[in-house]
Amino acid sequence: MSDPAGRVHLTDIDYARAEQMLAPYRARLVPQAAVVPQWSDDGARFRYWSGTRYVLVAPAAGTRRGAFDHERLAAALSQASGRAVEADDLPLTSVEFEVPGRDPEVIRFSAFDARWEWSDRTGTCKQVEDGPPVGPGEIVSPDRAWVAFRRNGNVWVRSRDGQREFALTDDAEPHWDYGGFPDAATKVKLPLLGLDSVLVAAWSPDSTRLVTHRIDQRELPEQVLVEAAPSDGGRPVAHRIRYPMPGDEAQATMTWHVLDIRTGQNLVASGEPEVLTSPYALDRRWWSGEKEDAVHVLHQSRDGRTLELRRLDPGTGAMTTLVAETGRTRVDPAPYLHAPPVVRILESGEILWWSQRDGWGHLYRYSSDGELLGRVTGGQWLVRRVLRVDEERGQVWFLANGLHEDPYIRQICRVDLDGGGFVRITDDDLDHDAVGPPRGDYIVDRASTVARPPRTRVLGDEGQVLVELEAPNATSLEAVGWSPPERFRTTAADGHTPIYGLLWRPHGFDPARRYPIVDHTYPGPNIHRASPAFGDLFTGEPEALAALGFAVVALDGRGTPVRSKAFLDHSQGDLGMAAALDDHVAAIRELGRRHPWLDTDRVGITGHSGGGFFTARALLTRPGFYSVGVAQAGPHDFSMYLPFWVEHNHGEITEEGRRALVNTPHAGNLRGKLLLIDAELDDNVLPHQSMRLVDALIDADADVDMLVVPGVEHNFQGRYHYVTRRTWDYLVRHLHGTEPPAYRLAPFPPMPDWAVQPSG
């Protein structure tokens, strides 16, 4: 509703509608959009959750059916538990299918605080003693006989029946322990999330050994976070974390260890301890080889400019470098920081290696001892993810970016391992978010657009449809006011580079009106923001802001991934992304010329973490364009942030280059309305970053608003509904120019497990 002056007055109904746009609620409105396969060990079958039922798929047979008899199980569980159970609302958690040594028709699951076993063949449901439950952060062995876990910094194992338990390491010391994470960004966060002692390790396929690491943080400087309002009501609590900064000589180091549950041996990999460049390095190791008799690890130098593939002999500890690549800027093992490495060790021992050495991202083939045999793919496009490899036929299937007019659209391709026989399996306008099985001659393909939910199919070698899985529509979303965004292309501030984004029209759109704009931003070099896939902007926040009467823009400017290496490296040496900010300004101005209903005199911006930095930077360096901003958990001084992030993505910090990393020198430019929201216990972006910005704003006699949320970590877990509502209220108050309603958001439900898609 608007007044005679055209100002929008929102109601509780508008806020309630916006709430339904957020990701946890939206996922439940289109549950068939998320097909997350649970593979059988041999890859011949998989199961997934389809809205109300578990489904079993056998691609070779072309069949899709219920994974078990839901009606019979519901009746049997009702009788056995004394609780009413509906077939379309089974309260099953921690479901185990095809447990080794058991009838494949038998499943185990948790319900009503107990463990149950169901036989689809006999129709019996009984309560079972399954040993101590597997806790969060614990790891079950492939044969399901053992559980590995951390205790007081050491690695332990126990048998699943709870009868045996013993330590595999016993010499952990404070700040020098096994199988954990570095303090920075995890020490305070994980306990707040109920993950007090997560173990990072990998079982050998025969369930006899574990590969893990030991981190040494003894020489690192401490930082202190103060918990002002502890849950017990007592005095404030100081949380001390080891937190190095860019340029510090002292950094965390690590060694690799192979632990044998048969002998108790703790085998240390040869060589000097290596600098722990980032938490992601801890997962960049895997068991491999024809008989899974080796461990391969990826090592990245501290500056990120050298990447090595090393082979660790789990019997001797010998470490051998097989492939080494050095670049002018950082050398990555995948298009995304958080994505699994696009590296495969074949059964023959040969290596598929992903590299941007030619300015894109392509596959190269190496011998088992590291000799380059040739390139596998090439061209002005990149390999996004390897889906599967058929060594017998000498072929590899993969996802590619850059083969479509829209370079972010993913297509499925196949190529021979010798570099010949390139084939596009898909060649359409759909984005294909496909995954491959651990074994098997097929691919699970989720194909969508921003307007069309994913149509999920199982495809064969040539792209033929083996099984149709799901084809949902957006009717339930549209019923609560959703409409798809417009996918747009515009030109960067350099006047020639094409850039892409999404534009959401306000709910109740009227082209005769003029709408304020919100730039919903995350500009980091680790992820691109505006996907061509359905609902792929993971928060749902742009859709929610559109429900509040804003036009919302999400954009991928220069300096972001899955384009060329040159496009990504635009941010190298300029992590402040000043030029990418110019791309945002140029794009929004161009959109304003295309669409007269966009009011480019009323532009706001909001973002979290790197987006929080970018939000403040927008108001401080483009005060004539951006007038309102909400910066959540922003690292406003990157020179005091996590070392790997800055040293990999920016490079060496010089006095001259420091201005590109810090917002405080620009404090005197603030003209608009800025709200800083920070988490009191943020061990990732320490809250002192915002305090330093506030200090500079006070010195500049500039007005700023600030909210510090007690008792939460970087993502405001448990209180993000409050942070979201305060963000909405601020934008409504200062962009619409009206008072928000008194509506209060409920705490967000968690994203269901079945809705979490593979990364990358």
Task: Name the pLDDT band for 5 (thresholds 50, 70, 90).
Answer: low
Distance CA(428)–CA(430), nearest Å, equals 6
Strands 114-119, 124-127: parallel, antiparallel or unpaired by DSSP?
antiparallel
**Average confidence (pLDDT) over 79-92:** 93
Residue 2 has pLDDT above 70, yes or no: no
Query: What end-to-end distance do the CA atoms of the chain give, in Å?
Result: 41
pLDDT at 757: 60
Backbone dihedral region of 725: left (phi > 0), alpha (psi from -120 to 50 degrees) or beta?
A: alpha
- Residue 642 CA to residue 192 CA, distance in Å, equals 20
| Band (675; pLDDT cuts 50, 70, 90) | very high
Distance between CA atoms of residues 243 and 258, nearest Å: 27
For residue 503, pLDDT beyond 90: yes
> Has residue 194 got a pLDDT over 90?
no
CA distance 694 to 705: 9
Report whether pLDDT(327) > 90: yes
Mean pLDDT for all residues in the chain = 93
The model's confidence at residue 325, banded by pLDDT at 50, 70 and 90, is very high
Give the model's pLDDT for residue 658: 83
Torsion of CA 132, 135, 139, 140, to 10 degrees: 30
- The encoded tokens of residue 589 equal 């101005």
Strand partners, 126: 117
Convert the pLDDT of each residue in 280-294 to its tens digit. 899 999 998 656 689
Which range, 1-10, 35-44, 704-713, is most confident? 704-713
Which residues, at least 6 apart from 122, have a Cβ–Cβ distance to it below 8 Å?
Answer: none
| Model confidence band, residue 196 (pLDDT cutoffs 50, 70, 90) | confident
The predicted pLDDT at position 657 comes to 77
Question: What are the structural domains of the chain?
Answer: 2-30+475-741 (3.40.50.1820), 42-127 (no CATH), 142-217+252-326 (2.140.10.30), 340-463 (2.120.10.30)
Task: Record the pTM.
Answer: 0.95
pLDDT at 367 over 80: yes
Q: Is the pLDDT of residue 165 over 90?
A: yes
Give CA–CA dist 401/343, Å, rounded: 17
Look at residue 494 in the predicted model and tell me its pLDDT. 95
